């Protein structure tokens, strides 16, 4: 396992090198994989997954459809919006004034919902919904496989308990396509001061890494595509094209760029899994930067339980030394709370045990 140095380098500074996250090869021996995934979830709350077995054509078809959609003119894309919160959105994120240099399609993974939404998304809705279904089913199975490995690693009495939550027909998982237009090609209006969570300095000079610009004092600043946050769900599987942009926070103010690799997934622990493991796994804060020259596309699956599911530390994770850190709640309750707050809010704090 290749790991990042946990030594902070100062507030909000970016380590200039990429590819430092744990890399897990799913084709290796199970005990080896289990041990490494467990450590990665505890230490970083994320890892890079390679040799995951997801068919290439399923990923390629989904990516091609996404580029067709985002390549359309604005009025055509707007037929699939505004995000309520599902649907097409541009720059506005959530319901409380967050913005970013991103346009996106947010879909529920329920098949009836995909079929319905596809009608306003694609000129060939049958083809679109079929391609989304194939992708979502494959990525859900992969998510369930990882959750089962984690269940074994945690020595749960029922190691499949976590996997079952995302495999449930009523699972509230969502699928998101994010398009971060390059700054050169986007019509994002110079001086768009509407963007309240970006640090953009427009007088940029390019860094070798592509997405950075150098501000006056020589520090590295980027243009925020999607601001800092943790994912509310259990597990996120993110795949992007070969353009750099995703960063994860591995310590106080230390942001590590995740090297883009279209054949891998970046797997991120979400808030619900942090609670279920009584804080043993950490839900990782992350953000996405835009690239000045190349547009970035990410396809993100957020594995969630059904709305009525009870989220509370699993009994095996509670000990005398480590009593329950969170009070029980339903996924519906937690989801509602996420939409009442800003993107960067540390909403898990609201659910701590007394």
Both structure tokens of 194: 């509407």
Q: Judged by CB under 6 A, how many residues of this single chain contact ligand GA4?
A: 16
For tokens 């054509």, what's the residue?
57
Indicate if 296 belongs to the active site. Answer: yes
Distance CA 174, CA 354 (A): 31
Q: In 10 A of CB 10, how many CB atoms?
A: 9
Catalytic residue among 36, 117, 287, 296: 296
Least distance between ligand GA4 and beta carbon 132 (Å): 16
Least distance between ligand GA4 and beta carbon 44 (Å): 18
Nearer to ligand GA4, 240 or 317 (CB): 240
Nearer to ligand GA4, 85 or 251 (CB): 85
User: Which of 174, 238, 267, 288 is in the footprint of ligand GA4 by CB under 6 A?
Assistant: 174
Least distance between ligand GA4 and beta carbon 216 (Å): 31
Distance CA 154, CA 251 (A): 24
Which residue's CB comes closest to ligand GA4?
94
Nearer to ligand GA4, 153 or 270 (CB): 270
List the interface residues with ligand GA4, window 51-90 (CB under 6 A).
85
Smallest CA-to-CA distance from 44 within 14, 2, 9 is with: 2
User: Which of 65, 101, 172, 231 is in the footprint of ligand GA4 by CB under 6 A?
Assistant: 231
Nearer to ligand GA4, 22 or 232 (CB): 232
Site for ligand GA4 contains 271 (CB under 6 A): no
Least distance between ligand GA4 and beta carbon 310 (Å): 19
Q: CA 180, 182, 188, 194: dihedral to nearest 10 degrees?
A: 60
Site for ligand GA4 contains 176 (CB under 6 A): yes
Nearer to ligand GA4, 92 or 317 (CB): 92
Nearer to ligand GA4, 181 or 232 (CB): 232
Please, which contacts does 199-205 make with residues 24 or more away whose CB atoms are closer than 8 Å? 199/223, 199/224, 200/224, 204/292
List the interface residues with ligand GA4, window 91-130 (CB under 6 A).
93-94, 96, 98, 106
Using DSSP bridges, classify how beta strands 224-229 and 296-303 pair: parallel, antiparallel or unpaired: unpaired
Site for ligand GA4 contains 221 (CB under 6 A): no
Site for ligand GA4 contains 248 (CB under 6 A): no
Phi first, then psi: give them for residue 214, nearest 5 degrees. Answer: -105, 125
Check if the beta carbon of residue 229 is closer than 8 Å to that of residue 94. Answer: no
Least distance between ligand GA4 and beta carbon 169 (Å): 20
Least distance between ligand GA4 and beta carbon 95 (Å): 7
Distance CA 217, CA 212 (A): 14
List the interface residues with ligand GA4, window 289-348 (CB under 6 A).
302, 338-339, 342-343
Q: Which stretch binds ligand GA4 (CB under 6 A): 150-158, 225-233, 280-288, 310-318?
A: 225-233
Least distance between ligand GA4 and beta carbon 158 (Å): 26
Interface residues toward ligand GA4, by CB under 6 A: 85, 93-94, 96, 98, 106, 174, 176, 229, 231-232, 302, 338-339, 342-343
Question: Which positions are annotated as active-site residues?
Answer: 296
């Amino acid at each position: 396992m290749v790991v990042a140095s946990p030594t902070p380098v100062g507030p909000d500074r970016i380590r200039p090198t990429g590819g430092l996250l744990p890399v897990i090869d799913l084709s290796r021996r199970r005990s080896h994989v289990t041990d490494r995934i467990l450590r990665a979830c505890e230490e970083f709350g994320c890892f890079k997954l390679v040799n995951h077995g997801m068919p290439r054509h399923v990923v390629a078809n989904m990516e091609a459809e996404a580029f067709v959609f985002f390549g359309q003119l604005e009025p055509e894309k707007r037929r699939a919006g505004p995000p309520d919160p599902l649907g097409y959105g541009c720059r506005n994120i959530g319901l409380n004034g967050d913005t970013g240099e991103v346009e996106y399609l947010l879909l529920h993974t329920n098949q009836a919902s995909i079929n319905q939404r596809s009608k306003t998304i694609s000129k060939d809705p049958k083809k679109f919904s079929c391609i989304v279904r194939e992708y979502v089913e494959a990525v859900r199975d992969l998510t369930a496989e990882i959750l089962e490995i984690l269940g074994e690693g945690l020595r749960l009495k029922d190691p499949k308990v976590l996997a079952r939550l995302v495999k449930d027909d009523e699972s509230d998982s969502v699928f998101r396509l994010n398009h971060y237009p390059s700054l050169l090609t986007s019509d994002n209006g110079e001086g768009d001061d509407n963007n309240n969570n970006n640090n953009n300095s427009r007088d940029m000079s390019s860094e070798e890494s592509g997405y950075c610009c150098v501000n006056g004092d020589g520090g590295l600043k980027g243009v925020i595509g999607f601001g800092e946050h943790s994912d509310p769900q259990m597990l996120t599987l993110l795949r992007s094209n070969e353009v750099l942009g995703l960063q994860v926070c591995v310590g106080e103010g230390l942001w590590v760029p995740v090297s883009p690799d279209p054949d891998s997934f970046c797997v991120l622990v979400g808030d619900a899994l942090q609670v279920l493991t009584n804080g043993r796994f950490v839900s990782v804060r992350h953000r996405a930067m835009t690239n000045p020259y190349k547009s970035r596309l990410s396809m993100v699956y957020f594995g969630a339980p059904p709305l009525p599911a009870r989220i509370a530390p699993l009994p095996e994770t509670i000990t005398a030394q480590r009593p329950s850190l969170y009070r029980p709640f339903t996924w519906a309750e937690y989801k509602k709370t996420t939409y009442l707050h800003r993107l960067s809010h540390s909403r898990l704090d609201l659910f701590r045990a007394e």
